[in-house]
Structures are given as structure tokens and as C-alpha cells.
Amino acid sequence: MIIRLQIILIILFTITPTALKSQVIEDNLIQFSGVVITVDSLKAVSFANIIVKESRRGTTCDYYGYFSFVAKKKDTIIFSAVGYKTITFIIPDTITKTRYSLIQAMTSDTLLLDETMIFPWPSTDQFKQAFINLEVPDDDYLIAKRNLALSELRERAQNFPMDGSMNYKHYMDQQYYKLYYAGQSPPLTIFNPFAWAEFIKAWRDGKFKRKKDK
């Protein structure tokens, strides 16, 4: 009988601290929920990071700034988000319920980043090598052709003065012409009846006559 009583006492002394400890832990746990907003506009701070400082656990709020996770009383909660100042909040230990809600406001923060220059070459030597071996796409023929095109535009501008809208229409017509015949040889304008009609009309109107010197 005495042996049985001793065994029972040993079991009670072994189980009781564990049970009490579990009870204390359960009493400390709460459902911590809330919304993260901005101070100035009261808009939601989407996907802000919420971390428990002691355990480095936490969560991320959703698009509307809402969050909810299990925490403990007296936990230090860190709220952080890109473009906002980091805020620390300590859960009170005077909570009598198993749930605690919080509306956390965050202040905007300006971040000054150092200038970063990105190059496609890993080293300066490779850049020099690439620069030396660079193939210039424009040859003499293309350069001369482009210069002739500019001189032609100047001559047309002198003979046929245009306002802003007419210049814009002429430029867009040239772009449409290039896109329409992209990948194929464009037709010669000498066979274009509309071009001949414009030429004859301009000739009849006397637009090709040179102005006499006064």
C-alpha cells in the first residue's frame, strides 16, 4: 500500500509542472490581427512584413493591409515595408482575451540610393576590345543618301512652303510608305500616276519658276 502511494505521488509531482507549464503557454498565446495603413492618406500598406523580434517568425499582410497570426503576450512586433519607416509594437501583457486587434499606421520614408552604373562588359579591357571591334552600320553610301534626303527636304521646303500640319502629314506619309513596303523593293515613283498629276499641277501653277532678283 505504501509503495503504491509513493508511485502515485511521484506521478503527480511529475505531471503537475508539465501541465502547469502547458497551461501558462496556452494563456500567453493570442490571435494577433490587424490592418496596416498610411498616416497621411489612411490607405492600406500592401504586403508589409510583420516579424516577431524574439522568434523571428511572422507573416506578410495582404493587398488590403490585413494580417493575422498567433503571437504571445509581451512579444515585440516589427512592422516594415519598402518606402516606410520601421515601427516596433509590444503586445500588452494585460490582455484578458485570446484575441487582440491593432490598426498600425506607418509613415512614408524617403530612401536615397547610391548611383549605380550598369555596363554589359564585365571589365574595362573587354569594353576596349568591344569598342575597337565595333562595326559602324552606316557606310559612305548610306551617309550620302541620308544627306541627299535632307537637302531634298530643304529644297522642297523652299519651293513648297508648308505649315506644321502639312509637315506632320508629309512625315507620316513617308513612315506609312516605308512600313507598307517593308521587306520588299518599293516601286519607282516615275511610274506613279498620282506623282505625275501633282507634278503637272505644280508646273501649271508656276511653282517651279525661279524668283527674279529684285
Question: For 106-159, what is each residue's pLDDT tens digit?
Answer: 999 887 778 887 777 788 888 888 888 877 666 677 777 776 666 666 666 666
Total of domains in the chain: 2
List 36's β-bridge partners, or say none.
104
**Residues 91, 70: Cα–Cα separation, whole Å:** 12
Lowest mean pLDDT segment, chosen from 17-21, 58-62, 168-172, 206-210:
17-21
**Residues 48, 37: Cα–Cα separation, whole Å:** 10
Q: Is residue 183 part of a domain?
A: yes
Domain residue limits at 41:
2-106
pLDDT of 107: 93
pLDDT of 69: 93
For the segment 88-106, the average pLDDT, to the nearest whole number, is 92
DSSP 64: T
pLDDT of 54: 87
76 and 125 both lie in a single domain: no
Residue 165 CB partners (closer than 8 Å, separation 6+): none
- The set of cell numbers assigned to 95 is 490582455
Which residue did the predictor score with more confidence, 25 or 60?
60
Among 106, 128, 149, the domain boundary falls at 106
**Residues 128, 112: Cα–Cα separation, whole Å:** 32
66: Cα separation from own chain's centroid: 23
47 and 97 both lie in a single domain: yes
pLDDT of 191: 61
What φ, ψ does residue 177 adopt, rounded to 5°? -65, -45
**Residues 186, 62: Cα–Cα separation, whole Å:** 57
Q: How much of the chain, in percent, has pLDDT values that exceed 70?
A: 65
Helix H or strand E encompassing 151: helix 140-159
Report the predicted TM-score, pTM, of the whole model to 2 decimal places.
0.45
Give the confidence band of 25 by pLDDT, cuts at 50, 70, 90.
very low
**Burial class of residue 28 (count of CB atoms within 10 Å of its CB; 0-12, 13-18, 19+):** middle
Q: Is residue 111 part of a domain?
A: no
Q: How much of the chain, in percent, has pLDDT values that exceed 90?
A: 29
Give the confidence band of 26 by pLDDT, cuts at 50, 70, 90.
low
